[in-house]
Each structure stands twice: as structure tokens, then as C-alpha cells.
């Protein structure tokens, strides 16, 4: 099931009650009922370990405070609990990384008897509204956070729910997580270009419309780019950095902008494969040859990368999604606890294809591409 908290029609059955209990926390419910936050959370989730009297006291407190849960919670029949439900919160559905990780986690969870409820939090406003009302309270037994840009107040809200939590692509202190070392991925990509003899290396970075909704992977990969240049004794040149909206079209826009600047690079790192594929399209549309005129490298190794012969730094996103689901189930079954939380970093590897090569000897660093294409 998919929910978009920012969509029209918020009075649909099962949605959080808008405005009710705004600002009321699970801690407030626990204090009113005279129980711990963990007991309040278990009571709202219908966990069998809680006595009927305690559960009723917590539900009464939640009603009294208009705690932001669905009316359906209070009407649920404990004799028909159904399959346990896990929430997946993510900023995008259609992008390769998010859809691949979600599908892998979903497959493992369903195979182990769990239902999955997806929450699409695609803007800072929708995200903030979600964490104000917390519509998953009382509806799910655990949470997977998929590379969500979260501030401290968001993570505090998640902790207050008392639910097991695992994150993919980012880390929340005190809970298991899985991802890659994005700084190292950026460094590996640039070092490959340096080893081929490139000295003037550009960067296509993912732009964000809202600074409140920035992603750690983009920041870390840019840092890896800068560190690799510094390690090679090459001064960072901001004129070689161009931002474009995430996606193939954004990569094409950024590469086109870079082509309009003087003193062009001989190679370009794109922070994500989608951006790199857009850059390839823009270069070829401009009549330039890859890698003869410009080498291009990406990060991720998405499915399309091999079809466009893109050199890239690969990560196993399927393994990350599956690992996160395994860890969440371990937390839900009591096999593991928060004290067992680890930040797992999956390995990356360089995948060599035909989009990178040493600089063409007829083209000096910084020379015009138009001049370089002359016989």
C-alpha cells in the first residue's frame, strides 16, 4: 500500500486525522497513562505482551489527547491482528536507487510474512507534515527509512514512537543502517581519471530545490572528488563544478552548461549514473566523442549503465535492501536490540567500460573542444 501524506483528499479512511493532536508526542501519551514510552508504543501497536487494562489506559490517554493516529486504531479487533506491518519512508519512487532498494526489502519482508506500507515524502513540506502528525503511529510495527534527509527533530520523533528502525543510505545513531562509503566512492572515481592522466576534471552534482531536502550521498561524493584532487596536488576549481536537477535530463542540462564555459575539462565525474547518462547524451548531441573528447564516469552502476557503456563505481543496492529487511526482522522478533546496532558499509568497485580513456594527445588540458576536434 502506498500513501502520499501530501496528496489531495486527506480525509480518506485510514489517514491521520489532520490537525488533531498537533504537537502531541508519544511521550505525552505515555506520561498521561502512567507508563513508559515503550509500553505506550506497544499498547498502540496491539502487541500481545501488554495487558488489556494497560492497553485500554493508553488508548484512553491517546483519545483524550487527540494523539495523531487513525480512528481505525481504536476500533481494531485484537482477535484479528492480521500480518505485521512495516512502514517504508522514502523521498522518491521512480529513481533507480530507491525503487531497487525498496523492491529488495519488500520481497524479503513479504516472504517472511510482513505487509509493507509505503510513505512517499517527496518534499520538505510533506516530510515535515508527516513528522508532525506521524500517521504511522499505531499502524506499523517497524520502520525502514530509505535515504531520507532527516533533521534532529525528525529523528527524535521517530525515536519517540518506540518502533524498531533501520535506515538505508543514511545513518541514524542508535539504529542499524546499511549503505556505502560515498566519500570513498567519489575518490575512487576521480583516482581512476587521475591514473589515466587527466588533470582537469569536472564535476556534475545533483542540485536540490530546497536546502532542507539535501542528500548526504551527494555531499559525500563531492567531498570525495575534492579530496582526490587535493591528494594529487590539483587545486579545486569551482568553475568545473556544475549542478543539475537529479535525473538524466538534469545531467544533460549540466553538461550543456559546462560546454558553454571556457577552459573545459578533459574528464567529468557525475555524482550519480542518471546524471552521467544525461551528460553522455549532451556530449554526443553536441557532436563530441566520448571518451576521445571528454571522459565520463558515474557512480552506482544502475541497470542502464552497461547499455550506454558507462564507466562507473558500482554498489549492490539489492544487497542493501535485503540486509536492511533482515535487520529489521531481527529487531521485530527480539533476536537483536538497539544495542546491536551497526553501521554496515557495503563494498564498491570500479566497473570499466568505454566512456573513459586517457586524454587525447591532440587536446591540451583546458583547450577548446571545438579546436580539439579539428584534424
- pLDDT given for residue 46 in this prediction: 61
pTM over 0.75: yes
Same structural domain, 205 and 296: yes
How many Cβ atoms from other residues are within 10 Å of residue 178's Cβ? 24
CATH of the domain at 91: 3.40.50
340 within a domain of the structure (yes/no): no
Identify the CA nearest to 215 among candidates 168, 170, 260, 253. Answer: 170
335 within a domain of the structure (yes/no): no
- pLDDT given for residue 74 in this prediction: 39
User: What 3-state DSSP class applies to 155?
Assistant: helix
Same structural domain, 146 and 264: no
CATH of the domain at 258: 3.40.50.2300
How many independent structural domains does the chain possess? 2
pLDDT per residue rounded down to tens, the chain (375 residues)? 555 554 433 333 223 322 234 456 667 788 899 987 667 766 765 655 678 888 888 888 887 887 644 333 433 334 335 678 999 999 988 899 999 999 999 999 999 999 999 999 988 889 889 988 888 888 899 999 999 888 888 888 888 888 899 999 998 888 999 999 999 999 999 999 999 999 999 999 998 766 777 788 999 999 999 999 999 999 999 999 999 998 999 999 999 999 999 888 999 999 999 999 999 999 999 999 999 999 999 999 999 999 999 999 999 999 999 999 999 999 988 888 777 788 999 999 999 999 999 998 765 445 455 444 443
156 within a domain of the structure (yes/no): yes
Same structural domain, 274 and 158: no
73 within a domain of the structure (yes/no): yes
Same structural domain, 202 and 146: no
Return the residue matching grid coordinates 525503487: 99
Same structural domain, 190 and 159: no
Same structural domain, 127 and 18: yes
Same structural domain, 353 and 215: yes
b (16+ CB within 10 A) / e for 324-333: bbbbbbbbbe
Same structural domain, 211 and 104: no
Identify the CA nearest to 128 among candidates 58, 210, 64, 205. Answer: 210
- Domain range holding 208? 182-315+349-372
Same structural domain, 276 and 307: yes
The phi and psi torsions of 308 (rounded to 5 degrees) equal: -110, 15
Same structural domain, 124 and 55: yes
- pLDDT given for residue 81 in this prediction: 52
Same structural domain, 217 and 155: no
**CA 193, CA 55: separation in Å to the nearest integer?**
61
Same structural domain, 146 and 54: yes
Amino acid at each position: 500500500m502506498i500513501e502520499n501524506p501530501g496528496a489531495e483528499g486527506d480525509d480518506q479512511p485510514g489517514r491521520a486525522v489532520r490537525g488533531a493532536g498537533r504537537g502531541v508526542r508519544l511521550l505525552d501519551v505515555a506520561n498521561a497513562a502512567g507508563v513508559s514510552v515503550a509500553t505506550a508504543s506497544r499498547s498502540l501497536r496491539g502487541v500481545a505482551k501488554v495487558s488489556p487494562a494497560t492497553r485500554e489506559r493508553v488508548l484512553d490517554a491517546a483519545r483524550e489527547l487527540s494523539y495523531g493516529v487513525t480512528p481505525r486504531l481504536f476500533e481494531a479487533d485484537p482477535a484479528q491482528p492480521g500480518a505485521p506491518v512495516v512502514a517504508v519512508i522514502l523521498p522518491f519512487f521512480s529513481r533507480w536507487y530507491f525503487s531497487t532498494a525498496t523492491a529488495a526489502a519488500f520481497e524479503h519482508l513479504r516472504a517472511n510474512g510482513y505487509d509493507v506500507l509505503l510513505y512517499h515524502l517527496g518534499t520538505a513540506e510533506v516530510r515535515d507534515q508527516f513528522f508532525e502528525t506521524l500517521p504511522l503511529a499505531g499502524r506499523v510495527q517497524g520502520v525502514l527509512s530509505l535515504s531520507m534527509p532527516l533533521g534532529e527533530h525528525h529523528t527524535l520523533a521517530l525515536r519517540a514512537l518506540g518502533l524498531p528502525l533501520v535506515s538505508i543510505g543514511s545513518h541514524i545513531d542508535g539504529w542499524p543502517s546499511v549503505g556505502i562509503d560515498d566519500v570513498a566512492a567519489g575518490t575512487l572515481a576521480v583516482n581512476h581519471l587521475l591514473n589515466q592522466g587527466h588533470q582537469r576534471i569536472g564535476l556534475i552534482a545533483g542540485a536540490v530545490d530546497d536546502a532542507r531536502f539535501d542528500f548526504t550521498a551527494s555531499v559525500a561524493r563531492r567531498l570525495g572528488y575534492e579530496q582526490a584532487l587535493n591528494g594529487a596536488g590539483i587545486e579545486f576549481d569551482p568553475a568545473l563544478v556544475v549542478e543539475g536537477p537529479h535525473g538524466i535530463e538534469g545531467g544533460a542540462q549540466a553538461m550543456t552548461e559546462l560546454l558553454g564555459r571556457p577552459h573545459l575539462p578533459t574528464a567529468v565525474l557525475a555524482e550519480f549514473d542518471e546524471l552521467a547518462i544525461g551528460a553522455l547524451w549532451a556530449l554526443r548531441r553536441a557532436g563530441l566523442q566520448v571518451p576521445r573528447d571528454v571522459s565520463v564516469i558515474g557512480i552506482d552502476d544502475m541497470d542502464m549503465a552497461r547499455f550506454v557503456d558507462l564507466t562507473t563505481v558500482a554498489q549492490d543496492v539489492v544487497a542493501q535492501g535485503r540486509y536492511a529487511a533482515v535487520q529489521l526482522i531481527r529487531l521485530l522478533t527480539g533476536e537483536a536490540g538497539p544495542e546491536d546496532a551497526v553501521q554496515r558499509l557495503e563494498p564498491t568497485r570500479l566497473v570499466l567500460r568505454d566512456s573513459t580513456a586517457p586524454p587525447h594527445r591532440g587536446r591540451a588540458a583546458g583547450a577548446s573542444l571545438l579546436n580539439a576536434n579539428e584534424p
